[in-house]
Structure 1
Amino acid sequence: MKKLLQLFVFSALVIVSPIQATERKIPIDEKQTSHHQAKILGKKIKYSATIGTQPVWDDAGNPIASLHFTYYQKSGVKDYGKRPLLISFNGGPGSASVWMHLAYTGPKILNIDDEGYPVQPYGVKNNPYSVLDVADIVYVNPVNTGYSRILENDKGELPSKDKQKALFFGVNADIKYLAEWINTFVTRNNRWLSPKFLIGESYGTTRVSGLALELQNRQWMYLNGVILVSPTEIGIKREGPVEAANRIPYFAATAWYHNKLDEKYQSMPLTAFLAEVENFTINKVIPAISKGGFIEASEKQQIAATIANYTALSETFVLRNNLDIPNDAFWKELLREDGFTVGRLDSRYKGIDKRDAGSRPDYWAELTSWLHSFTPAINYYLQQELGYKTDLKYNMFGSVHPWDRSNNKTGENLRLAMAQNPYLKVMVQSGYFDGATNYFDAKYTMWQLDPSGKMRERLSFKGYESGHMMYLRRADLETSNQDVREFILNALPTGSAKY
């Protein structure tokens, strides 16, 4: 019995013996490179994937954060000084670079169907339309997103919440430290001679708009192009009648997609239909809402009837909202009789609420769909295919709030960067079914970016029949990448930079 007891105790000790502990911290400064092959537009190319971390330093040269990045570089290029570099950011603020990395411009995309809906088993597949054939790409995760983290000081302490906010979590703090980080990345990778492009999605458009001038005036780094994907207002205000009216074309596009319009409109190509709605919005709706409570009853009734025809909302519903229909109300109302809501970031998606009554959806159907496909895919891809091993959690959305949105002059800064740099061009990309940053707001922002009209030829807009992440739909993945490809090639320097 004594021997049995000793054996039991020994066995128990073996079973509960602790695994060797490892620190769950980001390495301050490291990288590793693997080599791969892709087939893009029918042609095979070889490329390297460098994944790692690079510090952010304070003014005294001490590392205060480390940013995780993935850098794709085409192999066998004789002169990288002539090869474009595309620096990619997503938004939030607080969102990792996962979205465009693993669904848009990179060499791999997640496993989804042709309309962008998740497919199990989860995973990744080749991206036949990636722009890696014409540009090297680096995907950057700002502080607290992806694997990027704030660092402890030599006493093992993190900065205070107020200090963190001042250093990282605000419109201008974000731009300042990222510009320094980009300078270091470009220097380390010997890309100072390369034509440089920024691409940002959603809040990332605020980020890259501000970076254009910050890089130019503080880092003396001049860009060739900035791509704004599903842009925010970038500090260009859309308030009052303009804000209310600008939603109408998006509402109309969504109603068209769900086949809720009269045959007269339903049979029209979407872009032709939207051109009509846009004209009505600018010339009729904005003036009508501007009159407020002093609009003539007959005019208000006429405007409401036309809005109802274009959006499939009832005339009564439009009038009850005084021609100013909140987004939440639209997402709940359009398919109420069918028992569904429509998505915020992509109105092609339908959701199911607990009650058909109410004024807003219970959840965002599109975001839940995306998260349950992107999250396993990025974790698998970085660790298994690129070989990056860590116990850190990959933050799809990181802790960055409260975010300081004050003094947002990023749109004006982008205009000034363009004025100072004759090489700099800007392209806007938007999905017609995006209700978070609707396409007509994006057009309006582009129109207001340069009121003088003197740089009009360097501004362009591209629209797609999908939502906020228009590249999830395969037809738009092809088209939008080709638009980026052509934009990059057309923005390469020719001749002297002068007016």
Structure 2
Amino acid sequence: MIFSFLVAPRRAGTPAALFAALFFSALAAASFAAADEVAPQTPAHHGAAEAPSPAATTPPHPLPPAAVTTHVVDLPGRSLHFKAIAGAIQLSDSQSGEPLADVGYVAYVLDGGDPAKRPITFVVNGGPGAASAWLDLGMMGPWRLNLGEQPTSPSAPPITVDNADTWLDFTDLVFLDPPGTGYSRILSKSETARHHLYSVEGDIEALSVVIRKWLGANKRLESPKFIVGESYGGFRAPKLVRRLQDTEGVGVEGLVLISPVIDFAWFEGTNNPLPFVTHLPSLAAAARGLTVADARQSLADVEAYAAGPYLTDLVRGERDPAALARIVDNVTRITGLDAAFVRRLGGRIDPLSFARERGRDEGKISSRYDSNVSAFDPFPHSASTDYSDAILDADKTPLASAMADITANRLGWPVDARYEILNESVNRQWDWDGKRDKNQSLSDLKQELAIDPRLRVIVMHGLTDQVTPYFASKLLIDQIPPFGDPDRISLKIYDGGHMPYLRDQSRAAMREDARKLIEGK
């Protein structure tokens, strides 16, 4: 999140808080060119790649040449033979030729496919500052880190298993790590270049060049192309499609947006009632212990109340005692929280208050990434709390270890550097070109659906995600005209939270929905 990742900061100075903010900014600077470093076209057996000397790979030195290895995974009912490519595309200043950044990737290509017909899917996470290992080892790749039941332990052995839910059956996969995440690094000493790469516009420009260059180098420009983005990656994806189409000459047939932020204005703002509206159904789902099997029917009353009377009474404001009384009564009933607590908050329940208050008697605090997962509150008697998130902070450690081990020892691409699974520095430096809440990609999505009748989109959400609640996407999708076929964009909801794929049944269901999109069914 993966996750994932996106969220508003929990509390200044805490690591997960910075990622709970998951998003970026914009700054126009130099344009990018891609260096000629290309993945080798002839597969080498595992271990055949010559290991670079450790001194040559530590930042800010360039990443080593690409390594190609061959593998097979034996899964229920089938065996998949595939090639893995681990490498980097180097971005250079289009005018001076100065190296700007190395963007690392891991690609998996199934043996025997026709490149002109075989789909290729590019995968990017969010943050800003989150690496693609969340989606690679958590959901889609040929190997999966078996995290077991949530919450997991940061000291859990980082042992991977063959992934029965891999998407490799129906699409080749390229996992991208933007600069500052994974092993990707900025090479330039120019602060202007760094600011551009760590901005909304510069980030999209860099990633679109990397995608176009990878397609050309690997002779896949004819392939059907798809993009998967999680969290802030779901914000990136529509913008990537538009820039690939308008500037790079690359068309994309489909998008899978996992727990996306499509419009930041719907998630934040001191005087904005929308965040309370969009979170209420997910708070109710957690309070009622609902599963996705009965969720939408059971939450129909909450959704109708949230988008109707609740919003109306919130707009009436603090000076209307009758409106405030109605809000308190209804929110108390819906969330199961103490009425006095709800009254103190004016019926405006933010996710952090909900996370702490519902488990206060047990000394526990739930994860913003999934309200049904809790851990002990380290300061249960404090007025406020500073805690490690039971999902984000627990899962990132074994994921980082597992990805580093696979890259070096299974893919033959050792890098003498830390694998940045969640880079706080990137998150802190992100330039939003002003306020974050002015950024949105809904307009990009509308324009793409309007101009391209072939484009199809799935928006995927976990039911009890308090970071990017599903109801926000539902209301935003309602703002998109049908453009002849309203079914070209669909909303799918699964058990779980911000990274619903951490649950076995949800991961399998997400795979099936993605397969239908990619295969055009």
TM-score scaled by length of structure 1? 0.86
The correspondence for 1:404, drawn from 431, 449, 452, is 431
SS of the counterpart of 1:178? helix
The correspondence for 2:220, drawn from 167, 191, 199, is 191
Contact 1:329–1:359 under 8 Å retained in 2:
no
In structure 2, stretches of 5+ residues that fail to align are 1-52
Rounded Cα–Cα distance in structure 1 between residues aligned with 2:383 and 2:395 = 25
Per the alignment, residue 437 of structure 1 pairs with 468
The correspondence for 1:51, drawn from 78, 86, 106, is 86
Question: How far apart are residue 21 of structure 1 and its match?
Answer: 7.6
Contact 1:328–1:360 under 8 Å retained in 2:
no
Query: Aligned pair in 2 of structure 1 residues 357, 178: CA closer, same or farther (>3 Å)?
Result: same
The correspondence for 2:398, drawn from 349, 354, 373, is 373
Amino acid at match of 1:36: H
Per the alignment, residue 247 of structure 1 pairs with 279
The correspondence for 1:132, drawn from 168, 173, 182, is 168
Rounded Cα–Cα distance in structure 1 between residues aligned with 2:237 and 2:287 = 32
Greater alpha carbon shift after TM alignment, 308-317 vs 47-56: 308-317
1:331 matched to 2:367? The reply is no
Per the alignment, residue 106 of structure 2 pairs with 70
Per the alignment, residue 324 of structure 2 pairs with 300
Question: How far apart are residue 268 of structure 1 and its match?
Answer: 9.4
Query: Aligned pair in 2 of structure 1 residues 33, 415: CA closer, same or farther (>3 Å)?
Result: same
Contact 1:235–1:410 under 8 Å retained in 2:
no
1:318 matched to 2:342? The reply is yes
Question: How far apart are residue 333 of structure 1 and its match?
Answer: 0.7
TM-score scaled by length of structure 2? 0.82
The correspondence for 2:195, drawn from 165, 173, 176, is 165
Per the alignment, residue 422 of structure 1 pairs with 453
Query: Aligned pair in 2 of structure 1 residues 266, 323: CA closer, same or farther (>3 Å)?
Result: same
Matches of residues 27-426 of structure 1 in structure 2 within 5 Å?
A: 27-28=62-63, 30-40=65-75, 42-60=77-95, 61-77=97-113, 79-115=114-150, 117-118=152-153, 120-152=156-188, 158-160=189-191, 162-166=192-196, 168-235=197-264, 237=266, 240-257=272-289, 269-297=294-322, 299-353=323-377, 354-360=379-385, 362-398=387-423, 399-400=425-426, 401-406=428-433, 408-426=439-457
1:475 matched to 2:510? The reply is no
Q: Give CA-to-partner distance per residue, 1:97-151, whole Å, 9 cap, x none.
A: 1100111111111022155735843211111011100000000010011111111
Number of equivalenced pairs: 455
Amino acid at match of 1:145: T
Query: Aligned pair in 2 of structure 1 residues 21, 142: CA closer, same or farther (>3 Å)?
Result: closer
SS of the counterpart of 2:130? coil
Q: Give CA-to-partner distance per residue, 1:40-85, whole Å, 9 cap, x none.
A: 55211211111111111211244311111001000012x2111111
Amino acid at match of 1:127: N
Per the alignment, residue 3 of structure 2 pairs with none
SS of the counterpart of 2:492? strand
Rounded Cα–Cα distance in structure 2 between residues aligned with 1:461 and 1:283 = 21
1:463 matched to 2:493? The reply is yes
Query: Aligned pair in 2 of structure 1 residues 177, 266: CA closer, same or farther (>3 Å)?
Result: closer
Greater alpha carbon shift after TM alignment, 324-333 vs 132-141: 324-333
Contact 1:105–1:131 under 8 Å retained in 2:
yes
Contact 2:157–2:398 under 8 Å retained in 1:
no
What is the RMSD computed on CA atoms of the aligned residues? 2.3
Contact 1:144–1:395 under 8 Å retained in 2:
yes
Structure with more relative contact order (C-alpha pairs < 8 Å, separation 6 or more):
2
Percent identity, aligned pairs only, is: 29
Question: How far apart are residue 423 of structure 1 and its match?
Answer: 0.8
